[in-house]
Structure 1
Amino acid sequence: MSGSSIPAAAGEERPLLDVHAFATPNSVKVPIALEELGLPYTLHGVNVRQGAQKTPEFLALNPNGKVPVLVDRTVEDGPFVLTESAAILVYLAEKTGRLLPGGGVARARVFEQLFFHASGLSPAFGQSGFFQRFAAEPQPIAIERFSGEAKRTLGVLDGVLANRPFVAGEAFTIADIAHFGWLWRRAFAGVSFDDTPNVARWYEAIAARPAVRRGIARVEALVPQG
């Protein structure tokens, strides 16, 4: 796999979970979840800035050419390869019985936020950043559309967090991890927390969690220096 990986120490067995990722909003979610769950993993760098996600080797793992990708070698008749960050979060939570309620209203609230993130906040943030930074020619209507949508969805989340400490209720879940990924990279989308104090409060609390800090540090270490 193109990029770098962090090998096991001498005398240690290689972890049976592999994560192919980079320092992107969607990638960071998976190491954060694994750190929260205490699951050992090997992190492989896929430098999307250099097009490593389009190589035949990577496309054999994910034909969609996107990070992150999880490879689970604990599965019978495996390895099991899984793409899409939200699907990976659900899989890891169900695998461990943590960060996702077992049923009922509490579980439904987590999925409500996961789907809101995947269908609303995440694409709005991504498109806002793209048209502001990478469009070959200025596209005012696209910038206005997606920048406005990014701010609108952030406002929706602020309203949710006005009445609860975490996005799905009283407990930290994979829904918080999902939202955190793009809010960690909010500057790319040209978004701030100036008008969303509840999101700002929530973000600071999540960013201070030791496992979250470890996950961020690991993906940031994948970015070549110099």
Structure 2
Amino acid sequence: MDVLVDNLDLYLSAFGQTILLFLVAAVGSLVLGTVLAALRVSPVPILRSFGSAYVTVFRNTPLTLVLFFFAFAYPRLELVDLSFFARASVGLILYTAAFVCEVVRSGINTVPVGQAEASRALGFGFGQTLTQVVLPQAVRSVVPPLTSVQIALLKNTTIASGFSVFQAGGIYAVLSEQGDNVFIGLLWVSLGFLILVAPLTLLQRRLENRWSVAR
């Protein structure tokens, strides 16, 4: 308890940054991932190809390499000046969006084709069919696995600590400099992540029970 009590401000600040980074990346990846899923089921071949290429590239690229690019290579491009936190957020969004895309696309595929055909017969365009007919029905099958993706994102935020973004993943370095027991300190970090993940896990199980899709 001494390690936690003596460094309570450090833990609160670090986990506060972790939660903020997670929320920004979660919202951003959800929006971008949904757009990418729409591209992947689009009737326009070039849009489908772009969506497929994006998913292939980012799903097969290590997150560490993505964050490394934004931490060290991006400044050399001399584009918009962004803080380390903003660059880490962009990297996590781009990476996680590829996984969100596949989850949303799989949910879209669970909706019977007849639903889309019926909406087109009524004069709906692709955008209207997707947003007003298909996606609302796909929500039941999308939300539970999407929660798993967000849990993985929460844990992936720790990688940002290696690129000058102070959050829970960087607590051990501060404790080491102060001469505190790093092992005990990391146990408290693990407990903190368990506390953060628990509500998401409970939400996932509840939604799975409520929205389970009969096969």
Q: Which has the larger radius of gyration?
A: 2
TM-score, reference length from structure 2: 0.30
Q: When you count strand as a share of all residues, which structure comes out higher?
A: 1
**How does the TM-score come out when normalised to structure 1?**
0.29
